Amino acid sequence: MTESNQPQILVLIDPGLAEASALRQLLPSFTVDNDLDTVGTASIAVLTVPTAQAALPVTPSATAVIVHARGHERDRAMDLYALGAAMVVLDAPAEELAARVRALARHVQQMHRLLPARGHE
């Protein structure tokens, strides 16, 4: 598969995330947005607990959601798996969040390769 056939990976980073700026800088090969209205079109979203609580019920299952929680939010954050969070991380630095985004992006690309091309189903 050539580079042009790779799916466009849009990463939504919650602007309320303290690590948002650093995370954006660690993901130079991705299209990154901070407009929460794009959660439905993002491939991957990195959200805070309050944003995830509001967004997950209306987020398509095709969007992989990483929830970043602080220690005091642990109990509330673990409940977000039931709403569809792909992963919940506690007190992670921007570097760890970036590594998780890259891992999910590889998964999205692999799934894209497994799907039949439109019109050839």
Q: Where are the domains of the chain?
A: 3-114
What's the chain's average pLDDT?
88
Say whether pLDDT at 64 is over 60.
Answer: yes
Which pLDDT does position 110 carry in this prediction? 82
Q: What is the pLDDT of residue 117?
A: 54
Distances in Å between the Cα of 52 and the Cα atoms of 5, 6, 72, 81, 110 are 31, 28, 16, 10, 25
pLDDT value of position 19: 95
Query: Is 3.40.50.2300 the CATH classification of the domain at 3-114?
Result: yes
**With 60 as the cut, is the pLDDT of residue 69 above it?**
yes
pLDDT value, residue 86: 94
Mean pLDDT of 53-66: 93
4 pLDDT band (50/70/90 cuts)?
very low
Q: Would you call 13 helix, strand, or coil by DSSP?
A: strand
**Averaged pLDDT for residues 8-13:** 92
pTM flag (> 0.95): no
